[in-house]
Amino acid sequence: MSENRNYLKEIINNIKESNLRRVFTDPLGLFGFLLILFLVLIAIFAPYIAPYSSSDIDIANRLASPSSRHLFGTDNLGRDVFSRLVFGSRIALTVPILTISFGIILAIIFGLIAGYSSERVGNIFLVIFDIIKSFPALLFAMTVIALTGSNLFVLIIIIGITRFPAYARLIRAQTLRVKGKEYVIAAKAIGASIFKIMYKHILPNVIGPIFIQAAMDIPVVITFVAALSFLGLGVPPPTPSWGTMIKIGYSFIRIAPWMVIFGGIALVWATLGFTLFGEALRDNLDPRLNRQR
């Protein structure tokens, strides 16, 4: 137990050794963090930042160009584009976080079982993980949403299912690595239950890599949700979604390109921020990379 026996402990040690501070001294990591912080503040204070409601319709001012009254112009129903972008930031942050959290919960349950069980049971779970992962995520989501209808709950469940196999395989691999350690064997010897062994002795030692992987997956989920919304299968109207705004703007791009331009900038802003910050976290906190330096 005196050895570096778990990934999470190494990540915590990296934080204590000020490796986390290097994330913020890295120019790209700091830039990504500032982009995320700005987006989070916009989402929190959206009602105070947006000059209009995201659903206010003003047909008389439909497709109005950017002006002092409507900073980013209006859409085909006269709704203020800036206000919809501001309120859309809440969806852009909430859906990926809930989706990845759901995927991690599934991964913990099935990954631990797959890693702690016998080799035959573990191989069965691996086949299940591979089958789920082999489905084209976008096509799978489109099929389920077409059958069940589009709403936020269904969207979170679907995307979470498409993301969890990668997390589950990672947890299984880490579980296989630690289940033969002395502290696990000792817990078995004193008669600890399987649930207690998994929860108290294995899970804390295998969960670390998931956080790094999750940070890298947030921009992927953001673009995935935007793609579904662009196809008309994402966040249902009138809830403001950047993907939906780009879809609507695409229909009027020749006469009102500002919806596509500003919607695209918002999407690039979010994905760039999480990508840069996630890569900085990985580079400075991932023990495997630190060992190679």
For residue 288, the model assigns a pLDDT of: 52
269, 222 Cβ separation under 8 angstroms: no
Residue among 76, 91, 86 at smallest CA distance from 52: 86
Using one digit for the tens of pLDDT, what is the confidence trace for 56-99? 888 888 888 888 888 888 888 889 899 999 999 988 888 888 99
Using one digit for the tens of pLDDT, what is the confidence trace for 259-285? 899 989 999 999 998 888 888 877 766
Per-residue pLDDT band at 113 (split at 50, 70, 90):
confident
DSSP-assigned states of every residue in 83-112: HHHHHHHHHHHHHHHHHHHHHHHHHHHHHH
Helix or strand or coil: residue 80? strand
The yes-or-no verdict on residue 45 having pLDDT over 90 is yes
Q: How many whole angstroms from its chain centre is CA 216?
A: 8
pLDDT above 90 as % of the chain: 10
Per-residue pLDDT band at 20 (split at 50, 70, 90):
low
247, 271 Cβ separation under 8 angstroms: no
For residue 4, the model assigns a pLDDT of: 37
Tell me the C-alpha distance between 230 and 241, whole Å. 9
For residue 286, the model assigns a pLDDT of: 58
271, 281 Cβ separation under 8 angstroms: no
Q: How many whole angstroms from its chain centre is CA 133?
A: 17
DSSP-assigned states of every residue in 124-154: HHHHHHHHHHHS-HHHHHHHHHHHH---HHH
Burial of 17 (0-12, 13-18, 19+ CB in 10 A): exposed
The amino acid that residue 198 corresponds to is: M
DSSP-assigned states of every residue in 3-67: S---HHHHHHHHHHTTHHHHHHHSHHHHHHHHHHHHHHHHHHTHHHH-SS-TT---GGGTTPPS-
- What are the distances in angstroms from CA 165 to CA 100, 105, 132, 161, 210? 12, 11, 7, 8, 12
The yes-or-no verdict on residue 42 having pLDDT over 90 is yes
For residue 205, the model assigns a pLDDT of: 72
The yes-or-no verdict on residue 10 having pLDDT over 70 is no
For residue 125, the model assigns a pLDDT of: 86
Tell me the C-alpha distance between 192 and 197, whole Å. 6
CATH of domain 7-58+67-292: 1.10.3720.10
Helix or strand or coil: residue 180? coil
